[in-house]
Amino acid sequence: MALTILDLGEDILTYAISRHLSPDDIFKFFTLNSTLYKLFQSSATIYQLLYNKKFTNNENNYTLNLQQHLNWKQLWQLRCNINQEVFTWGESNGGRLGYLSTRIDQSHVSRKLGGWSVHTPTNVPEFNRHLIVDLKANGYSFIILLNNGELWFTGMDWKRPQQGLSTPGPVRAKDYKPNPGTMALSSMNNNVDDNVGGRRGIRPGTFAGGRGRFGVMPMPMPGRFTDDDEEDSDEGVIGGNGGNGDTPQEGSSGANAASPGASSSSLPQSRRMLQPSDTRPKLRHAPSKIQETNFLSRMFLPPVNGPDDRKIISISTGREHIVALDDKNNVYTWDTGCNSNIGIHVQFPGIPESVSVVKVSAGWNLSACQVDGVGLVVWYTREPLTKEQFDQQNYQSNVKYSVIPGTENNVVDFTVGADYVLFIKKSDSKLYQFRLHAQDFATRDNERLDANDLKSMITPLDNFNNWLAQQEASIEFTRLNSCFTNFVVFTNHDQVLIGSNAHLLYNINDETQEQGKVPVLIPDLQGQNIKSVEIGDYHYLALTNDGSVLSWGTESRSCGCLGIGPRELAAAENPETVVEHGANLEVKSPLHVKKPKGNRVHGKWVAIAASGWQSGGIYVPLYD
């Protein structure tokens, strides 16, 4: 009698096979017949895999505890709830919060000399009724990844307008961009009958003081193609909770939904069809159901020859750059060298393209990825795109990189900061630092360091490792996160350790050095099953196991990044915790971020983001 796939054990079906599949393939596999579907509906293992693959890309390996009163299926349904909303708060400079002050609740706004800020979580309505896979913050914007693979950013730009180049982008020249006359002539030749315009008009004197808006330059027009008749390819989520238990279709309703068959003339200028060159790859994308605004813009993958079914599955942000990983094992970057919203497909000379990229991480001025069979690959600059590449619509760029010795299949987790990479080794469970000067390495001629040079750049963080040695034998470091020179380390026993530049530079042989000698442990965070900690310039956010958010640190110049409401009220209600220092506000121990819908609607935060002077999160209201 012939065996069928149903003769395999439940553990093989739900874990041994499923852990090698993408979330979409898991859905397809378990809908092959009714028996598999029943197994899918009842298996906690499958929902745990789905959650970690879809919403953390295995970066954090989210875990449950008894205090949550949620099983994996319920957590999955909560995270996929179509009622989820994006909220931002903090400094508004450059439109980074995604909205104008005149269009939000005025009780959330703090007016100050030269501008305004937001002290209470405030909704970005364009993303309502859409499934958000991830929300990240960099120094100047928020980056939003949708379930259908669309990538968006808030503000006028993800980098400083009209500033110089910085690592890990190109450091000697920006990507090639034709002059306006050449671009206009090319557009006229290729688009005789079309009314072609940029995504944004760059108008002088439209802001206070006569300052013009800088924004992101329009996407290069030669060879660009928008297929306006193609229907949006949002995919629903099986097992998600859209309020009635049915499969939710992302963006299937809401005020911002656009009809799939909209004509070119009814769409923004950047969506209108441009005649493609027959010899160049075509940039195709379905029209989004989200409308671009002055402070919301879409980002694009570079064009490819032939059918294009790529989908971004993971993102990470640095100070002025973004790194993304797609489901085809490609790594992309948007950095200070870019002249458009099209990402650059980074290439690693000498590393086979067939190897699997496990995780990507963008640091302050570096980027890195974990590659199976290779180790931690750290890059600090890339080559700028040439005129020939632009003419051919070839958006590939070689990077200058180093592979950290001893990390091949030997990394529990890693994170990237300013001139350093922190990583936990599987072999000894210790925390290590790989330190390099990004600008120096980026400007060197093609000098490759040998293994001994690279090994000399690795040092154990003895202050943290010594702390670990004094704990129970079963305690291990499990997860890392960082921003600039601040970082956080998690353990498998719900401990949260915080470090700073003093810890990174601590010398255990210097007996007179006290600062940085031991990790910082904030009592309110210990044993609380904290899910994640995000770090800004001077503030911290922590996502708790009950779906609330804690914040502490400093609000510089009353920027509102802590989300605890008006500073006067916060100081009056928490006199021992909240201290005013001139224009700055210091919160000495964690306080709860204000509920985005007040006390009238219960709900849970499911994701948080922080960087610079701003914060954000994804909130799921739970209506009765």
Per residue in 305-340, pLDDT (tens digit) is 888 899 999 999 999 999 999 999 999 999 999 999
Q: Mean pLDDT across the chain, nearest whole number?
A: 85
Compute the distance between CA of residue 397 and CA of residue 331 in angstroms, rounded to an integer.
Answer: 11
Tell me, what amino acid is at 107? S
Q: Which of 215-219, 221-225, 509-513 has the highest mean pLDDT?
A: 509-513
Q: Is residue 170 part of a domain?
A: no
Structure tokens at 11: 């553990």
Compute the distance between CA of residue 408 and CA of residue 425 in angstroms, rounded to an integer.
Answer: 10
**Cβ-based burial of 566 (10 A; exposed 0-12, middle 13-18, buried ≥19):** middle
Compute the distance between CA of residue 32 and CA of residue 577 in angstroms, rounded to an integer.
Answer: 57
Structure tokens at 624: 């009765």
- Residue 558 gets which letter from DSSP? G
Residue 221 has pLDDT above 90, yes or no: no
> If pLDDT is split at 50, 70 and 90, which confidence band does 6 have?
confident
Residue 36 has pLDDT above 70, yes or no: yes
Compute the distance between CA of residue 87 and CA of residue 128 in angstroms, rounded to an integer.
Answer: 10
Q: Is residue 178 part of a domain?
A: no
Residue 202 has pLDDT above 60, yes or no: no
**pLDDT tens-digit profile of 558-584?**
999 999 999 999 999 999 999 999 999
Q: Is residue 333 part of a domain?
A: no
Residue 210 has pLDDT above 70, yes or no: no
Considering only CA atoms, which of 36, 69, 26, 50 is closest in space to residue 547? Answer: 69
How far separated are the first and last CA of the chain, in Å rounded?
52
The whole-number pLDDT of residue 514 equals 87
**Cβ-based burial of 431 (10 A; exposed 0-12, middle 13-18, buried ≥19):** buried
CB of 282 within 8 A of CB of 223?
yes
Residue 19 has pLDDT above 60, yes or no: yes
- Which domain does 24 fall in, by range? 8-79
> If pLDDT is split at 50, 70 and 90, which confidence band does 527 have?
very high
> If pLDDT is split at 50, 70 and 90, which confidence band does 244 have?
very low
The whole-number pLDDT of residue 1 equals 67
Q: Is residue 34 part of a domain?
A: yes
- In b/e form, how buried is each residue of 480-516, taking b as 16+ CB within 10 angstroms? bbbbbbbbbbbbeeebbbbbbbebbebeeeeeeeeeb
The whole-number pLDDT of residue 112 equals 87
Structure tokens at 247: 């499969």
> If pLDDT is split at 50, 70 and 90, which confidence band does 552 have?
very high
pTM of the model: 0.86
CB of 566 within 8 A of CB of 559?
no
Q: What is the mean pLDDT of residues 482-502?
A: 97
Return the minimum-mean-pLDDT range out of 139-143, 437-441, 453-457, 599-603. Answer: 599-603
> If pLDDT is split at 50, 70 and 90, which confidence band does 66 have?
low
Structure tokens at 33: 């017949």
Better pLDDT: 306 or 148:
148
Q: Is residue 18 part of a domain?
A: yes
Compute the distance between CA of residue 259 and CA of residue 287 in angstroms, rounded to an integer.
Answer: 9
> If pLDDT is split at 50, 70 and 90, which confidence band does 283 have?
low
Compute the distance between CA of residue 611 and CA of residue 96 in angstroms, rounded to an integer.
Answer: 11
Considering only CA atoms, which of 550, 548, 525 is closest in space to residue 540? Answer: 550
Q: What is the mean pLDDT of residues 103-128?
A: 95
> If pLDDT is split at 50, 70 and 90, which confidence band does 241 have?
low
Residue 219 has pLDDT above 90, yes or no: no
CB of 202 within 8 A of CB of 212?
yes
| 3-state DSSP percent of the chain in helix, strand and coil, to 5 | 20, 30, 50
Q: Is residue 29 part of a domain?
A: yes
Q: How many CB atoms lie within 10 A of CB 191?
A: 17
CA angle in degrees (0–180, nearest 5) for 357-363-366: 80
Contacts (Cβ under 8 Å, ≥6 apart) of 74 = none
User: Cα dist. 219→196, 352, 354, 425 in Å?
Assistant: 12, 31, 30, 42
Q: What is the mean pLDDT of residues 404-418?
A: 97
User: Cα dist. 471→474, 476, 477, 493, 525 in Å?
Assistant: 8, 9, 11, 10, 17
Residue 369 has pLDDT above 50, yes or no: yes
Sequence-ordered strand ranges (E) for 474-583: 477-483, 486-491, 496-499, 532-535, 539-543, 549-555, 578-581
Question: Backbone phi, then psi, for 449, in 5-degree steps?
Answer: -75, 145
Beta bridge partners of 553: 539, 587
Sequence-ordered strand ranges (E) for 353-427: 357-362, 367-371, 375-382, 396-403, 411-416, 420-425
The whole-number pLDDT of residue 251 equals 36
Q: Is residue 151 part of a domain?
A: no
Q: What is the mean pLDDT of residues 588-597?
A: 96
The whole-number pLDDT of residue 239 equals 54
Residue 208 has pLDDT above 80, yes or no: no
Task: State the total domains in the chain.
Answer: 1
- In b/e form, how buried is each residue of 535-546, taking b as 16+ CB within 10 angstroms? bbbbbbbbbbbe
Any idea of the CA torsion for 243, 245, 247, 252, to the nearest 10 degrees?
-20
CB of 594 within 8 A of CB of 564?
yes
Q: Which of 152-166, 195-209, 486-500 has the highest mean pLDDT?
A: 486-500
Q: Is residue 19 part of a domain?
A: yes
CB of 395 within 8 A of CB of 302?
yes
Compute the distance between CA of residue 320 and CA of residue 116 in angstroms, rounded to an integer.
Answer: 23
The whole-number pLDDT of residue 185 equals 61
The whole-number pLDDT of residue 155 equals 97
Q: Cis peptide leading into 180, omega within 30 of 0? A: no
> If pLDDT is split at 50, 70 and 90, which confidence band does 485 have?
very high
Considering only CA atoms, which of 283, 291, 235, 214 is closest in space to residue 258? Answer: 291
Better pLDDT: 207 or 280:
280
Length of the chain equals 624
Q: What is the mean pLDDT of residues 397-418?
A: 97
> If pLDDT is split at 50, 70 and 90, which confidence band does 181 have?
confident
